[in-house]
Chain A
Amino acid sequence: MTEDGSIFFQLLVERLNYFIYIVLLMIGLWAMIAKNNLIKKLIGMSIFQTAIILFYVSTAVKEDATIPIYLPEHDPHGTELNSESNQSGGMIHAPQVLEASLVSGYTNPLPHVLMLTAIVVGVATLGLALSVCLRIYRAYGTIEEDDLLLELEKEDGRKAGGFRKKRPRRMPSRGGKSKDKVRKGTDEKSKSGQVQTRRRKSGPSKPTSTKSNSNSDTQGGEKKPKSRRRKPSPRKPREDKS
């Protein structure tokens, strides 16, 4: 198994970095798609971006190579010893191209520099996303995606004036509960609330509610079925644990 050339050797020893980057990438992607909590989605997003940073930095590494700053013997401005004499003489303050044989002793600086930019972009995205989360929480009182989708559905239903007839079936069932439960913030309550709503949803009123979705909800058509499909999967393990 540890022989050269076997797939395990390649994955775990030769290309461990690339193996880990793929794993991280997939973890991030999974978190972004499957997690119900918006903050967890953002954590997934960060992992996703970090995986790419790992990939880039890994590509720059070479065996026995040092950081890309002139070694004293390669410095076009002279070594430390005769630097003083050089200062008086005509020093060249411009980038110098080293010979190809010397360059191999340095790592490639470019990927690191690129990743500095990518890190900045990632931080900006994360900051913006968190502030959007804050706004969502203030407006809807929840950062759980399922609850949020219900709230949005209600709001869209209210706006799509002509199709209000089918809407009220669900509205009284939720009443003012959602706000109370999240403001208090206890896990137990929110969980029971979610379970309730889910059961109610999959109850007898299902056909009419799906029908009204496709009609009145302006664009959620493709979003909602998705969430409904994946609803059972993330929640089941949680119920088991509690």
Chain B
Amino acid sequence: MSDHIVWIVLFPLLGGVACSLFGNFSKKICYPLAVGSMIASVWSSVHTLFQVIESPLHQVSYIQGGWTLDLFPRGVGIEFRADLLGALITLVVTGVGLIVVLYSKVPVQRQTPGKEPLYYTLFLLQITGLAGITLTGDAFNLYVLIEVAALTGYGLIALGSNRAAAATFNYIILGTIGASLYLLGVGYLYLKTGTLNMVGILEVIEANNLHDSPAMQVAFVLVLLGVLIKMAFFPFHAWLPKAYCHAPTTTSCLLAPLVTKVMIYVMIRMILSVFGVEFSFESTWWAEVMPWLVVVAIICAAVMALAQREIKSMLTYLIVAEVGYMVGGVWIYNYYGLVGSIFHVISDACMTLCLFLGAGIILEKCRTTHFDGLRGLFAKMPLTMIGFFIGGFSIIGLPPTCGFFSKWYLITGGMVSERWEYMVTLMFSTMVMVILFFRLIERIHLAVDESGKNLGKGHGDLGLTDEQTRFDEAPLSMLIPLLIAASIVIIVGVYNQEVVNLIELFLEDHNLPTGVTYK
């Protein structure tokens, strides 16, 4: 079993097939099957990460079916390639998948009764698609895996309420436009370079100096546009909030941390490994325009998050704002910005997971996530709220958590490249997030309602009966994953230097400027 890289994808795939086959006989078998295949997948991705670190070129490659010919040394088949970036993100994807699948026991039984086999099949196929996206080295295969992840995602969301089905329709339309634009862009790439292998494309571009070719420009615009729609970058974000807000608890816990982050990974991959740094930043005008779009995106998303009165819908807008952070980190065209962006992909996946797990527990216990229903939750579920707010503090960027360090690099990037507008926007959005989360804390601790009317008798009285504030913690199968996620947020924060070292090792051979790039 030296080819761990393939098993990362194969375990969830086979697990999904097994779930749909054996689920008909016994519904109880699905949960252990899903947990087992996810554990195996995480194990494989840890092995792959160590293989990548140990190998001299820092990459592991596997050509599907062994389709190599002398004429095509890169292989005519599909190649799976993990470099440090790919291996790191894959570990994040499978790790989040494992935590969510552990968490899923109670909510799946309650929200989709009788459909557990189908749910877990879709769930595992979703992981297959996402892990495949992070591992594949073939541009067309990437399209297929994007669609695998998207189709299962539509299914997972539509399993929720009727409202979720209506939101899914928007998602299908926009998601299909995004993926189709990407496919079209890949078509132009193939026409121009004659290969679909990512490294092969880059080699042809560099060798033939295609930087000024109009066809390449078209390909770049189409691919980037498709990916931006898929990652819910601000003007294209319309599908995300409703879909994630009304999806079943487990679905939003899985999709919210992963889908947008994986698409940002695709953007970084396209820029660094397919089009090349030189082409992406210097032959196009994107690097001049994108930071300003990011400014608009972050401000709009933060303000809209401020307008929400429900935890889940507030969190969905936070995702849109975070997407703005990461896109900005890439497009300020700076070494530190890119380090921050990649690190933020990892840390944002952890903290969004933490927040959505917490929100899922609140929804499970209180049957609502509206701000008015939160009073006295710290007395009722102290551990859940601690976990939830560790995620929240990480979003704000308080020091021991990982959010602080990724934001640190992003802001450093903004300063070094003298993109002041990006830096100021980050500060502004940090302030908004402080308001968002401390307002929540106020709502939970103080007996004040929306209009400022005092509901209690003062002096810490919440206006609640003893019955309502009695200790009533969530079931352990939900609580433990949340606490694991919260501790990961802190551990990644404390050991941030280890992660950043890996990212810096990956960025070593990409010629990125460390100074001012803005003219």
Chain A residues within 8 Å of B, Cβ to Cβ: 25, 29, 32, 38, 41, 45, 48-49, 52, 55-56, 59, 95, 97, 110-111, 114, 117-118, 121, 124-125, 128-129, 132-133, 135-136, 139-140, 148, 152, 155-156, 160-163, 214-216, 218-223
Contacts and interface: CB of A to CB of B under 8 A. Distances in A.
Given A136-B166, A152-B166, A219 B177 contact: no
Given A135-B162, A220-B242, A97 B71 contact: yes
In order of increasing CB-CB distance, the 6 nearest A-B pairs are: A139-B162, A219-B241, A218-B313, A135-B165, A121-B147, A129-B172
A49 B176 contact: yes
B379 interface: no
B296 to A, nearest CB: 13
Residue among B143, B180, B242, B450 with the highest chain A CB neighbour number at 10 A: B180
17 contacts: A38-B169, A41-B173, A45-B176, A52-B183, A97-B69, A97-B71, A110-B190, A110-B196, A118-B143, A125-B151, A139-B162, A139-B165, A140-B166, A218-B241, A218-B308, A218-B313, A219-B317
Contacts of A163: 309
Nearest to B157: A132
Nearest to B244: A219
Contact of B173 (A45, A95, A221, A223): A45
Contacts of A49: 176, 180
A221 B307 contact: yes
Contacts of B307: 214-215, 221
Instruction: Kindly name the residue among B143, B172, B196, B241 whose own CB sees the greatest number of chain A CB atoms within 10 A.
Output: B172
A223 B170 CA distance: 10
Contacts, number: 117
Contacts of B310: 160, 218
Interface in B257-273: none
Given A55-B187, A97-B71, A161-B372, A218 B245 contact: yes
Given A49-B180, A125-B147, A135-B165, 12 more contacts: A45-B173, A56-B187, A59-B187, A124-B151, A125-B151, A128-B158, A135-B158, A136-B169, A161-B368, A161-B370, A162-B372, A218-B309
What DSSP secondary structure best describes chain A's contact surface? helix
Nearest to A113: B140
Given A52-B183, A121-B144, A162-B372, A29 B166 contact: no
Given A135-B158, A162-B372, A218-B245, A117 B144 contact: yes
A55 B184 contact: yes
B191 A59 contact: yes
B457 to A, nearest CB: 22
A132 B245 contact: no
Contact of B168 (A95, A132, A140): A132
Given A136-B165, A219-B241, A162 B176 contact: no
B53 to A, nearest CB: 34
B299 interface: no
B120 interface: no
B467 to A, nearest CB: 21
A169 to B, nearest CB: 20
Interface in B148-173: 151, 154-155, 158, 162-163, 165-166, 168-170, 172-173
B441 interface: no
A214 B308 CA distance: 10
Nearest to A25: B184
Given A52-B180, A125-B151, A219 B165 contact: no
A38 B172 CA distance: 11
A32 B173 contact: yes
A38 B191 CA distance: 35
B215 to A, nearest CB: 11
B155 A128 contact: yes
A114 B147 CA distance: 14
A133 B241 contact: no
Interface string B365-383: 0001011100000000000
B180 A162 contact: no
Contacts of A117: 140, 144
B172 A128 contact: yes
A29 B184 CA distance: 14
Given A38-B169, A136-B165, A52 B184 contact: yes
A108 B31 CA distance: 46
